[in-house]
Structure 1
Amino acid sequence: MFDVVVVGGGPSGATAAADLANSGHSVALLDREGRIKPCGGAIPPRLIADFDIPDDLLIAKITTARMISPTGRRVDIPIENGFVGMVDRKDFDPFLRARAEAAGAERLTGTFLRIEREGKRRWVVYRDKKNSAEKRVETRLIIGADGAKSRVAAQEIPGGDKTPLVFAYHEIIAAPDTTNDSYDPTRCDVIYDGAISPDFYGWVFPHGRSASVGMGTFVGDVSLKDATAALRQASGLADCDTLRREGAPIPLKPLRFWDNARDVVLAGDAAGVVAPSSGEGIYYAMIGGRHAATAAAATLASGRITDLALARKLFMREHKNVFKVLGAMQDAYYRSDSRRERFVSLCHDIDVQRLTFEAYMNKKLVKARPLAHLKIGFKNLRHLTGLVAETHV
């Protein structure tokens, strides 16, 4: 009998399990293992600090972001007063699971099947990875952190199977031996080009001795592999050895409900918490896992099922406005190449650069410079209406 069974051992589930175990609760962490999610691997300083990520997990430290438009215009944005860390999910996720186990969580390896209930008792049923046998474990509460196509969400949460998804694909390649204008191990490249992705973007993210090259799209008839091959060719990386290939769906919008008002609460991709526009997910997954753990602990202590709703309330209290702004940005600028050109042109502006990275690094909208926000709003309107001339580099 466990206080909580956490389904899914990615950053969200592993964080929830560790937090609950550290607070003295009995926890089981159910994970399939062996799967590596496609991910650029960027983590901001706030994540590194909030979740005590050791420096040896950082395989690269990024000090510049390059935005590339459909016509090849490039805008380099320096990351002032710090860096963005890069992790490889094949190492990062196992580290988080091991940390949860060290805190006292019991590891279960298998695939979630369903939740069974009888009166006030409930069991998580899963297929054991070792012998394919169905097993079940009794628990008081369940945290569903099993990814974008969450079985827990689909079975237990209203609308849990209706999340709009971007399909992401990347290739981990051996990094080039030399640094040049096409590739820099301290620079992330973000490519806004309809030929690569008609509604999202492509990326080249250094990973130390390797690099992540990929793209995402909502459009079903786009060949992810062909688009990534074109991106590698355009980036001078076509001849680099391919180490592995990975693909997975990424949610576009947080679900309206994260709990079933009974015994289940969601976290991470299962709850839809990937930032619009940027596609950033690791930080939001981990903070979502932390809030789910807080909601579960509050429910166990109070006996009030309504406390499960704390997970969504706490997350939205801090991040709702950021998601709104990023969602509006994606709707405004990702719909055509002409809009993407203007977006990259807008990125030339020093106010845009500073406030964008302050928001990214600290995970909140900065209110310290209202005049700068006013200026940006005016510039944004001029770019969208085409009243400003495009600057070419």
Structure 2
Amino acid sequence: MTTTNHTETRIFTDTRIFDAVVVGGGPAGATAATDLARLGRSVLLLDKAGRIKPCGGAIPPRLIREFEIPDWLMVAKARSARMISPAERRVDMPIEGGFVGMVDREVFDEWLRERAALAGAERGTGTFTGITRDGSGIATVHYKTPTGTGTVRARAVIGADGAVSAVARQEVPGSHRLQCVFAYHEIVRSPGAGAAGFDGSRCDVYYQGHLSPDFYAWIFPHGDTTSIGTGSAHKGFALRQSVGALRAATGLDGVETIRREGAPIPLRPLKRWDNGRDVVLAGDAAGVVAPASGEGIYYAMAGGRFAAEAVQTFLATGDAKALATARKRFMKAHGRVFWILGMMQRFWYRNDKRRERFVGICRDPDVQKLTWDAYMNKELVRAKPAAHVRIFFKDLAHLLGVVPP
């Protein structure tokens, strides 16, 4: 980029026209940049410096396969989950013949960004501030850096800059109505082998109202480190106090705290992801975090891929309607799962009485099998109708209170 010196600030102006500028270097943005660069497009991946998103770090087998994630990036492999009810009842859900990969987002995200660079994308550091357009309609992306401001021109822009997306708020109607849960976690040093109650191959999920009135709290092992966190959409809920209480209750208050992080996480996909002209959203900016579970990495990367394919079609044809296919394809693939998970969260997470029954349902082998099949493969399992029928009647019995929780 060329540099122009002024008395108070440095302005970085790139006179090239990129095929695409991707704003945000998380899993969605990095995936979109990689895919477009592999297609031969000129891409700039613009990301903030030092950004790490609070996240449990779980990646399912389908993500590992589809996006070719090397085994060394997984700092742990979870082979079971344990659900803890308000009454402290524990229900173990083993993963038969498989595992869920656990990654450190600081390392994982940077590897994804480097993969984009190896594919041919250029990397830039800066915070997006706005988009203007010249007489030819080419977008100029404005950003700021620690030492000044900069601009870069692009035929298309992918906004992958998080739940409170500045790209979305400027360019996509209705994006300001995105509802969010605020998540907070503390990365701590994992306790040594044999520590009471801690299992480095198990994810613990706490469905307890005092830890989260509308979501859940978690303890997810990452090898040498562990993520302890919670989330809530209730304004004023004391997230740090909740995590402190969880650490104290599990004996993890005495281990070293490495870092603390917090960020908003969207509750449901936006109704529109593009501006009908030259901008499309991906990842948290589009609202693609699964309700009930809060899982976002797979859906971010899938959304980033759909966004890249939509931009590729737009660049090849000049038809801005192609940008809308990113959302259409995502919702066709995952919309039904999101709807069901949203219903689950709204019903089962409402109070501790329902949370107790929800954890009770998780004892059922049919529920466990279908839950893991759906999670690992990211689709609803239709191959076992008899099991679905059994689960329906068991759920109905729990809802009517004719079985003990």
Name the TM-score, length of structure 1 as normaliser.
Answer: 0.97
Q: Which residue of 2 aligns with 1:126?
A: 143
Q: Distance in 1 between matches of 2:266 and 2:399?
A: 26
Pair 1:7 & 2:23 matched: yes
Q: Which residue of 1 aligns with 2:360?
A: 345
Q: Distance in 1 between matches of 2:47 and 2:207?
A: 35
Residue 67 of structure 1 contacts residue 74 of structure 1 at CA under 8 Å; is this kept in 2?
Answer: yes
Structure 1 unaligned regions, length at least 5: none
Q: Which residue of 1 aligns with 2:102?
A: 86
Pair 1:261 & 2:253 matched: no
Residue 258 of structure 1 contacts residue 271 of structure 1 at CA under 8 Å; is this kept in 2?
Answer: yes
Name the TM-score, length of structure 2 as normaliser.
Answer: 0.95
Deviation at 1:179, TM superposition (A): 3.1
Question: Deviations for 1:210-267, whole angstroms, at most 9, x for unmatched residues?
Answer: 1000000011111111000001111221111111100000000100000011110000
**1:133-144 correspondence to structure 2 within 5 Å:** 133-144=148-159
SS of residue paired to 2:392: helix
SS of residue paired to 1:59: strand
**1:216-365 correspondence to structure 2 within 5 Å:** 216-365=231-380
Pair 1:197 & 2:212 matched: yes
> Once superposed, which parts of structure 1, at least 4 consecutive aligned residues long, lie more than 4 Å away?
none
1:67 corresponds, among 67, 83, 89, to 83
Q: Distance in 2 between matches of 1:49 and 1:176?
A: 31
Identity %: 60
Residue 68 of structure 1 contacts residue 190 of structure 1 at CA under 8 Å; is this kept in 2?
Answer: yes
Q: Which residue of 2 aligns with 1:213?
A: 228
Matched residue type, 1:264: V
Q: Distance in 2 between matches of 1:270 and 1:179?
A: 41
Deviation at 1:185, TM superposition (A): 0.2
Deviation at 1:181, TM superposition (A): 5.4
Matched residue type, 1:109: T
1:34 corresponds, among 50, 53, 66, to 50
Residue 179 of structure 1 contacts residue 185 of structure 1 at CA under 8 Å; is this kept in 2?
Answer: no
SS of residue paired to 1:328: helix
Q: Which residue of 2 aligns with 1:384?
A: 399
Residue 112 of structure 1 contacts residue 151 of structure 1 at CA under 8 Å; is this kept in 2?
Answer: yes
Q: Distance in 2 between matches of 1:65 and 1:180?
A: 18
Report the number of matched residues.
388
Q: Distance in 2 between matches of 1:91 and 1:102?
A: 16
Q: Which residue of 2 aligns with 1:170?
A: 185
Worse-superposed segment, 224-233 or 175-184: 175-184
Deviation at 1:128, TM superposition (A): 2.4
Q: Distance in 2 between matches of 1:82 and 1:110?
A: 40
Q: Distance in 2 between matches of 1:175 and 1:220?
A: 30
Deviation at 1:178, TM superposition (A): 2.5
